[in-house]
Chains A and B, each alone.
Chain A
Amino acid sequence: GQQVMQIPQYQHVQEGEDFTTYCNSSTTLSNIQWYKQRPGGHPVFLIQLVKSGEVKKQKRLTFQFGEAKKNSSLHITATQTTDVGTYFCAGPTGTASKLTFGTGTRLQVTL
């Protein structure tokens, strides 16, 4: 079946450093979504990318969708302790309602 992998699984940075997580799909995706889950919380939708090569920004977060629509990345500039959590990418497999999540990247930020 379709797989969505993320790397790294875990990253520990000092506050102020940049962070990037990468998402790779075994098949072409019609769109890709990103979610953030704080420790002890539930996933929260951040953004959706639809077009090949699309780049979107949310303050210090930059999301990119690959040209082949099989990979994506999330880059955080100058991390803050509020960025702590697990970041998931997700892509539709089959119908739009069937959403496969990546394995997630856990980000730890220390002062």
Chain B
Amino acid sequence: EAQVTQNPRYLITVTGKKLTVTCSQNMNHEYMSWYRQDPGLGLRQIYYSMNVEVTDKGDVPEGYKVSRKEKRNFPLILESPSPNQTSLYFCASRWGRDAYGYTFGSGTRLTVV
């Protein structure tokens, strides 16, 4: 089944403890992206990648890192999480051609205490 898989689905962590949210897609998509969703603010893009080793900042990149060493994986790294990073995170992927939208993962609900 074509899908974007994120792990974990839920995570509660403490301030300052490094964490990684994994994202993997099995559709050979070139583009991948991370979004965070907060009430009243919609979906905001954190980072995106147009191919292996090609990444760029979205609208809210502060406090996050990403890497794209393989085409299928695009992990999101929080080196020192803070409470304001408590949010619902979505990974998404798509073809490079314009005709297709993003396929989203099921989301990771992160709570930083």
Contact = CB atoms under 8 A, between A and B. Distances in A.
Interface residues of B, number: 29
Given A95-B50, A96-B31, A96-B98, A101 B104 contact: no
Size band of the interface chain A makes with B: 20 to 34
Nearest to A95: B50
Contacts of B50: 95, 97
A79 interface: no
A50 interface: yes
Interface in A90-109: 90, 95-104
A88 B42 CA distance: 8
A33 B56 CA distance: 21
Contacts of B35: 101
A96 B96 contact: yes
Nearest to B4: A42
- Please classify the interface of chain B as helix (H, G, I), strand (E, B), loop, or mixed, using the class held by over half of its residues: strand
A35 interface: yes
A86 B66 CA distance: 28
B95 to A, nearest CB: 10
Interface of B: 31, 33, 35, 40-45, 48-50, 56, 58-59, 90, 92, 94, 96, 98-107
Interface of A: 1, 30-31, 33, 35, 41-48, 50, 88, 90, 95-104
* Shortest beta-carbon contacts, A-B, top 8: A45-B101, A101-B43, A42-B104, A103-B42, A97-B31, A97-B48, A33-B101, A97-B50
Given A90-B101, A95-B50, A97-B48, 12 more contacts: A30-B98, A33-B101, A41-B106, A43-B104, A48-B100, A90-B43, A99-B48, A101-B44, A101-B45, A103-B40, A103-B41, A104-B43
